[in-house]
Chain A
Amino acid sequence: MLTIERLSKSFDGIAAISDVTLEFPTGSLTAVIGPNGAGKTTLFNLISGAFKADAGRVMLDGIDLVGLARAEIVRCGIARAFQVASIFPSFTVEETLNAAVQAHRGRAAVLDRRFPLAECCERAHEVMDMLGLAKEADTLSARLSHGDQKLLDVALALVLQPRVLLLDEPTAGMGPDERWQMIERVYRLWEREKMTVVFIEHDMDIVFKIANSIRVLCYGRVLAEGTPDQIRGNADVIAAYLGTEDGANP
């Protein structure tokens, strides 16, 4: 279970996250929603160690992650994908995933042949198949379509076999058809891998269709949490958020 206890972070005196307490049960598929500037990405940055929290704890199965280096947090089992696809332009898709598994297994400093571990390559192929990237295995990442770059970003996180997968707007910048394709893939991999998935999403149709629980952030605080049905009926959420957002009515 991933537990966030009284987490706070401010930048130049402006609170981005204040006193946030949240739980993400093991194996849940949770959407984090909220208007722009609600602190959703900051929350991910704090969990994954990009920023250090001012106060509070991030507990993963009893281990406090606050203060650990990014690499150590990854080893604890938390992997993330980014809002803007963060990839390695000069690597092919297959090289990217091979290199990522290898780096993760602590074989980064080994002076051996290129990709020595057979199980690394197997894992890379498994993930490519799972996300439908196999046909692009030999394509340079820089030449992939936008959608495939986002997929590769997700694949990079997934290839590490994390216990918790943080997806920051996996459908950002995609057309309607592409979005559903992406989200179906996310849903299938969640079903298959039985890991904890937390995703940030603006499209309410997607959120209410696939998430089995929802956390609503607003101005750096938790506004509401619960199942899609509970959130749908929550007056605070409707007032603060749903009523103002286009296409928000399910």
Chain B
Amino acid sequence: MRHSFRRDMIIGAIAVTALVLLPLVWPNKAFIDFTIRGASFALFATSLNLLVGYGGMVSFGHGMFFGLGAYSFGLLMQRTGMSIPAAFALTIVVTAAVALAVGAICVRLKEIYFAFLTLAFQMFLYSLVILWVPLTGGDQGLRGGIPRPSFLGIDLADQRQLYIASCVLLVGGLILMHHIVESPFGYTLRMIRDNATRAAFLGVEVFRIKLVAFVLAGIFGGIGGVIMSLFVSGAYPEFANWTMSGEAVFIVMLGGISTFFGPVVGTVILLLLNDVVTRFTEYYGLTLGAIILLFALGLRRGLTDFLLDYWRRSPWVLAAAKRGR
């Protein structure tokens, strides 16, 4: 199935081309901003789903990597004057190193204890951000803008070019993560999610696999943070706060955890909800809360999970399955 990666690449290339061409025929600043934010959140939420959906590890502290990505990228750009690709690469290294250290402690724990330990680590990081004013600017965040020097003829200070870069990062990140979950590693991770004890009796080194998943998820979460810091030209404590993790969990739940694209769908739903609800009503919480209840108690699962179930149960699919026998 090596060509499945090739197929992903082809679909990805088409998607990027379409996204790049779209503003040419429909120049709309709101759409461009929406997509950049969406790319950031979609990468972040999909990376969380590597843990939640594929690894069965519900992390409440995934926002720490979003914050870490945004802050380390922003700081590297502000303080060292290195080029954007170098700062990007170094940010990935930093995120991976922190994820390795935190993961080594957290992934030994199960279920709710894992969730709370990750949350505690995130809030510890958040407190550091608030505390370390000379470096992070405390509760004011990294102010004064992040320099975005051109590299290779690309100028990310230009919103259009940032849009294209975000689309490339989004699609590239999704292709990589899709490859990860469809690889032997991805299947081993699912084995652990389904039945960790049995996996261990088959020779799977559960701890190592979970740790690798945690680090990979951290890296992609960090990339989401980098896009956000480029977008807002700064980094703010909220990026590292627990609300960020909450939002990611929420997106994953809205979109669904049993399909790869669930979190992407969830991102679009949440961002649209945010924009539409705030525009039409001052009772944001009441409206959003009611919609959430509709999902949780009505559909009882994420949107793509619901559609997948619906599709599998449709008479047409059942009939096709019978013919296949």
Instruction: Say yes or no: A114-B203 contact (C-beta < 8 A), given A86-B197, A88-B198, A89-B194.
Output: no
**C-alpha spacing A109/B203, complex, angstroms:** 12
Instruction: Say yes or no: A71-B1 contact (C-beta < 8 A), given A99-B188, A109-B208, A114-B187.
Output: no
Contact of A71 among B191, B198, B205 (CB under 8 A): B205
**Are A113 and B194 closer than 8 Å at their CB atoms?**
no
**Are B187 and A99 closer than 8 Å at their CB atoms?**
yes
Contact of A102 among B4, B180, B188 (CB under 8 A): B188
Contact of B182 among A69, A79, A103, A113 (CB under 8 A): A113
B residues 106-155 touching A (CB-CB < 8 Å): none
Instruction: Say yes or no: A99-B191 contact (C-beta < 8 A), given A86-B197, A109-B212, A113-B5.
Output: yes
**Are A70 and B194 closer than 8 Å at their CB atoms?**
no
Is the C-beta of A239 less than 8 angstroms from some C-beta in chain B? no
**C-alpha spacing A70/B202, complex, angstroms:** 8
Task: Please tell me the size bucket of the interface on B.
Answer: 20 to 34
The dominant DSSP class at the B interface is helix
Instruction: Say yes or no: A88-B188 contact (C-beta < 8 A), given A48-B201, A70-B201, A113-B182.
Output: no
**C-alpha spacing A41/B205, complex, angstroms:** 23
**C-alpha spacing A241/B191, complex, angstroms:** 40
**Are A108 and B204 closer than 8 Å at their CB atoms?**
yes
Known: A102-B188, A104-B202, A114-B182. 11 other contacts (CB 8 A): A70-B200, A74-B202, A86-B195, A87-B194, A90-B193, A91-B190, A109-B209, A111-B179, A113-B183, A156-B198, A160-B202
List chain A positions with a Cβ less than 8 A from chain B.
48, 50, 69-71, 74-75, 79-80, 82, 86-91, 95, 98-100, 102-104, 106-116, 156, 160
Q: List 12 A-B contacts (CB under 8 A).
A: A48-B201, A50-B201, A70-B201, A86-B197, A87-B195, A99-B187, A99-B191, A102-B187, A103-B188, A106-B203, A111-B184, A115-B184
List chain B positions with a Cβ less than 8 A from chain A.
1-2, 4-5, 179-180, 182-185, 187-188, 190-191, 193-195, 197-205, 208-209, 212
Give me the 3 closest cross-chain CB pairs, A-B, nearest first: A74-B203, A88-B194, A108-B188
